Amino acid sequence: MSTRDGGGGRRGGNAAAGRGGDGQGRGRGGGGRGGAGGRGGGGQWRAQGGAELGGGRGGAVGAARGGRGGVERGGHQSFHGARPVGGDRGGRGHYHHGVPAQVQPQWQVAAPPSTSRPTPAEVEELRGEVERKAAVAVPDAEAHEGPSSGTAHEPSAAPARVEAEQGTSLVVEADQAAQGRLPPSSSKALVFPARPGYGTLGRRCRVRANHFFVQVADKEIYHYDVVISPESQSRKRNRWILNELVKLHKNYLNGRLPVYDGRKGLFTAGPLPFKTKEFVLELTNPERANQGAKEYSVTIKDAAKLDLYSLRQFLAGRQRELPQDTVQALDIAMRECPTEKYVSISRSFFSQSFGHGGDIGSGVECWRGYYQSLRATQMGLSLNIDISATAFYKAQPILEFALEYLNIRDTSRRLSDQDRLKLKKVLKGVRVVATHRRDIAIHYKITGITSLPLNSLTFNQDGASVSVVQYFKHQYNYSLKHIHWPCLQSGNDSRPTYLPMEVCSILGGQRYSRKLNEYQVTSILKKACERPPQREGSILEVVNRNDYGNDHCAKEFGIKVTNELALVDARVLPAPTLKYHDSGREKVCSPSVGQWNMNNKRLIDGVSIQYWACVTFASRLHPNDVRMFCNNLVGACNDMGMQINGRPCVDVGQARPDNLEAALRNTHRQSAQMLAQQGVTRQLDLLIVVLPDANASVFYGRIKRLCETELGLVTQCCQPKNVFKGGRQYLQNLALKINVKVGGRNTVLEDALNRRIHLLTDLPTIIFGADVTHPAPGEDASPSIAAVVASMDWPQVAKYRCLVSSQGHREEIITDLFTQVKDPQKGLINGGMIRHAEHLRELLVSFYKANGSRKPSRIIFYRDGVSEGQFSQVLLYEVDAIRKACASLEEGYLPPITFIVVQKRHHTRLFPEDHHAHGQMDRSGNILPGTVVDTKICHPSEFDFYLCSHSGIQGTSRPAHYHVLFDENKFTADALQTLTYKLCYTYARCTRSVSIVPPAYYAHLAAFRARHYMDDDLSDQGSSSVASSRMKDGAVPVKQLPKVMESVKQFMFYC
């Protein structure tokens, strides 16, 4: 077999010295040798047509990176060579033609890499060497575009750069980092892929975006560090102290008007007349007037002069790294005046002057406000402004709040322990004002509620035990009435301050950060919902009201804001064609404005359900009503192409909600006995459950937990009101969900069947979706839930298998993507969510088995739920975990990865250019599905775009924001935008395109489902008795998720 080197790059290892199989092929312009020669693909697989995976790999630790191996052909199918690790990529290799390598029947698992870790001193030495050489060897993104000298390097910790065809993709450190020996140093080592060009497909149009162009004068901006003593965690208090300092010592500040972030950062437009200065202030806190004046020390120290030139270079696309500190300073300057006038929560401002949203129940009300953030975009700096609404505690007496929140009327009875704990949980951290002293109002923060009632509560005063009731009578001449109720507590347990509820009122302007109930969510959505014309008008009203032209802080820093929404070029991508079963009257479907229906269509892969049962917990429904509903549902499923037995295994069972678990177990047992009598060894294919009339969401979680983790049953839950109505549309929607839950497919993309989707259908491709859901605020001990789904049916990509895992509280990085555990008998065991050795049903191996023993040649990973500040961390750890998972399955197996973050929690909104032009919008007045924007409001140089893939229903549509963090597959803008949009039509649960790409959507559903597996706990400590899976250093134990039964896990049970 003949081989030739590809052009450019450093020389790779010896082509013929491959290990594992025949070792055909050099790496493309192979990497500099650092030890042994190039390695051929090890542990090769059988492939149709006889083609085998070969390709060279770069040398040992620290070697410069070689390119991809050449493509070997045998028969009618070809595979790309393995992706090498580390080093500068060479030019493109040539094709090699020859006999196939030796066939191996299974995916072999290579020996795991060494997990020995260096000492802290060695880590710092390696890290320092990496950063020093990175600064010298690779000074900028353009430095390595030409061919290298070809000089081989000895093994070292020198960095290596991967150059994408469209721009720099990622700077990786030495091979020690890839193998986990050197921890990732910082985000400075990362450069995200450059934009490969702009998309051209689709019908061109223009839209308005809620971004307002910002101009900044060429002023010198200085950053100062602030230290306040005694230290306070309250931004509000810190701001008050700084404001008082500016008033009292204006002359010392050279007349400057500083802006402050409430923590450590102070910024001025021009220098202060000192490098370091300490100010001592005597101030009386108006919230604690009874304590008198207090001395505060404020030290202001010069920190840095900020660089506006670098910001302009970044905005012009001539610099890859954003000077975040400069943008932060300007953003703080824009926020200074609103912070003084409104209630500030994160990046939003709220006031009842923006329109009171009204009462939403349980002592909570809705406030309207606006979101504001300074963004670096292609058009320059822009101010992103959007309308916000959130929940606040009502300003009212604590007793009134307690009655409303607990839904009780009689204050004469004692609170139960359950009610007391509920009240403690919802009031913890809330600020109240005590009203028992007529001469002064004192503010307190609630830290707890006593377990004893007032008439039993005492405290120590001068060595004597004093009753709280007697103290209030003697000290304040105040006779407490509700002495059988517990008492609020402020301060810590060692020095508590007891506050009877009847003398306390909740202060206004406090955000309600607890989980909202269903009624509250519905209420706040209704109050915040605005059609596009109204929302655009509300945004402009905020801009005019804030009058940025007369904002004294903006003037100080030379900031000017336009008062018109940005007009942006956009395109509307064509909708894909969907394929249904040939037995239906309509075999293909062309959706219209993101919607279609199941009329005259049959599911492309309808399943057969032979054994099923139904149980109802709805007291208002007669069993005969439920039987009729089941008959109608069976008929609708059969009409759509499924094959369901018309009779259940056992008759419809009816039970009380308080007997839920026993009823489900009984139905499971009866059906198993019935099937055993018929000689059937399997269990039910499906259990239909009609939920109780009240508190359906609570019972829903209990049903899913029991059936999916203990009984091994796939369930379909139904709301009683929908069962009673039994409309055709509802039955069709249920059929769509049931079909995929038991292993079927509803529809597929016609282009996927015909192999016409670029970088998806040419080679076996696996698509991952991942998401992490976090517990509600206040759930201090609850873990976060991570979910990963992966497509199993290439090229249709309609079936997704999932794995879920619990991890540390509010931890965003998925810690179980890949893990290694040392077992005394078995040695190192590779595990994790991508390669889960315990069940031997890994997602990668499952794909291999489901696709005719073909392993993924390409990985596309959609990651949901990541903020911009977490991009670098997610990329460093999660792409590395994917790499390790692949390498642990077969030596040298490194398929190219594209890693895309999907964001929905942003505040960019797109509006039709003309709200009266019907061709520019859907029936709801929103922009058309398929509208994509990759100019003007997008990143100045990186690969991102906004895509509105769904049709609006109510309110204003929110486009999804896709940001590519890693791209070895070399997607063009058109290819990735088109693929993403087409996938949005494959969501299984409805006949509409959805707002985010389905793999990410499914991961969200799976993580949300796993949240139901956690036992709710209500105790004074807020902790749970659930077993912990691991312990973080100094952290609470992580609750372990119960395992989903294999009979459920093999299907899309989370739909």
Residue 62 above 60 pLDDT?
A: no
3-state secondary structure of 116: coil
pLDDT in tens, 828-873: 555 555 543 333 347 998 999 999 999 999 999 999 989 998 999 8
The pLDDT tens digits of the residues spanning 353-404 come to 998 778 999 999 999 999 999 999 999 999 999 999 999 999 999 999 999 9
Statement: residue 105 has pLDDT above 70: no
User: What is the model's pLDDT at position 820?
Assistant: 54
Half-sphere exposure of 660 (CA within 13 A, CB side): 21
Question: Which residue has tokens 């377990």?
Answer: 451
State the pLDDT at residue 133.
39
Question: Does 175 score more than 70 pLDDT?
Answer: no
pLDDT of 81 > 60? The answer is no
pLDDT of 86 over the 70 cut: no
| Residues of the chain above pLDDT 90, percent | 63
Residues in Cβ contact with 573 at an 8 Å cutoff, skipping those fewer than 6 apart: 201, 202, 930, 931, 932, 977, 978, 981
Q: In the prediction, which pLDDT does 438 show?
A: 77
> What pLDDT is recorded for position 439?
75
Question: Residue 31 pLDDT > 50, yes or no?
Answer: no
Whole-number pLDDT of residue 84: 36
Residue-wise pLDDT tens digits, 773-832: 988 766 667 888 999 999 999 999 999 999 998 887 777 677 666 555 455 565 555 555
Burial level of 1000, CB count in 10 A (0-12/13-18/19+)? buried
> What is the spatial distance between Cα 197 and Cα 4, in angstroms, rounded to a whole number?
32
**pLDDT, tens digit, for every residue of 112-138?**
343 344 444 544 454 444 444 333 333
Lowest mean pLDDT of 243-257, 315-329, 530-544, 1009-1023, name the range: 1009-1023
The pLDDT, as a whole number, for residue 806 is 86
pLDDT tens for each residue of 194-209: 999 999 999 999 999 9
SS3 of residue 66 by DSSP: coil
Q: Which residue has the higher pLDDT, 793 or 160?
A: 793
* pLDDT at position 1037 over 90: no
**Structural domains in the chain, sorted by start:** 213-393+533-561 (no CATH), 398-506 (2.170.260.10), 606-741 (3.40.50.2300), 748-1037 (3.30.420.10)
The yes-or-no verdict on residue 961 having pLDDT over 60 is yes
pLDDT the model gives residue 1016: 53
| pLDDT above 70 (res 712) | yes
Span 1023-1046, average pLDDT: 61
Helix (H, G, I), strand (E, B) or coil at 178: helix
CB 214 within 8 A of CB 559: yes
What is the model's pLDDT at position 754? Answer: 93
The 10s digit of each residue's pLDDT in 451-475 is 999 999 999 888 889 999 999 999 9
Look at residue 251 and tell me whether its pLDDT is greater than 60.
yes
The answer to whether residue 78 scores a pLDDT higher than 80 is no
For the range 147-153, what are the long-range contacts, defined as Cβ-Cβ under 8 Å and sequence gap of 24 or more? 147/7, 147/8, 147/9, 147/91, 148/8, 148/9, 148/10, 148/64, 148/88, 150/10, 150/11, 151/10, 151/32, 152/10, 152/11, 152/32, 152/33, 152/34, 153/10, 153/32, 153/34, 153/62, 153/63, 153/64
The confidence score (pLDDT) of residue 285 equals 81
Query: Exposed, middle or buried, 673 (CB in 10 Å: 0-12/13-18/19+)?
Result: exposed
Listed in sequence order, the residues at least 6 apart from 1008 whose beta carbon sits closer than 8 Å to its beta carbon are 773, 785
- Residue 4: pLDDT over 90: no
Tell me the C-alpha distance between 1024 and 184, whole Å.
34
Q: Which residue has the higher pLDDT, 662 or 172?
A: 662
pLDDT at 205: 97
Query: Is residue 983's pLDDT more than 60?
Result: yes
Separation of alpha carbons 526 and 87, rounded Å: 55
Q: Is the pLDDT of residue 753 over 50?
A: yes
**Amino acid letter for position 206:** R
Contacts of 370 (CB under 8 A, 6+ apart): 348, 349, 354, 385, 386, 387, 388, 539, 542
The pLDDT of residue 156 is above 80: no
pLDDT-derived band at 287, boundaries 50, 70, 90: confident
For 609-646, the pLDDT digits (tens) are: 999 999 999 999 999 999 999 999 999 999 999 999 99
Kindly report, residue by residue over 584-598, the tens digit of the pLDDT.
999 999 999 999 999
**Residues 428 and 1020 sit within 8 Å (Cβ to Cβ):** no
Running DSSP on this structure, what letter comes out for residue 710? I
- What one-character-per-residue DSSP string does 245-303 give? HHHHTTGGGTT---EE-SSSEEEEES--S-SEEEEEEEEE-GGGGGG-EEEEEEEEEEE
End-to-end Cα distance, the chain: 51
What pLDDT, on the 0 to 100 scale, is given for residue 171?
A: 33
Walk across the sheet containing 858-864 and list its strands.
800-807, 784-791, 765-773, 858-864, 897-903, 960-967, 944-948, 931-933, 566-572, 203-209, 910-912
Does 44 have pLDDT greater than 70?
Answer: no
CA angle 459, 464, 466 (to 5 degrees): 40
Q: What's the pLDDT at 289?
A: 65
Rounded Cα distance, 82 and 62, in Å: 18
Average pLDDT over the chain reads 81
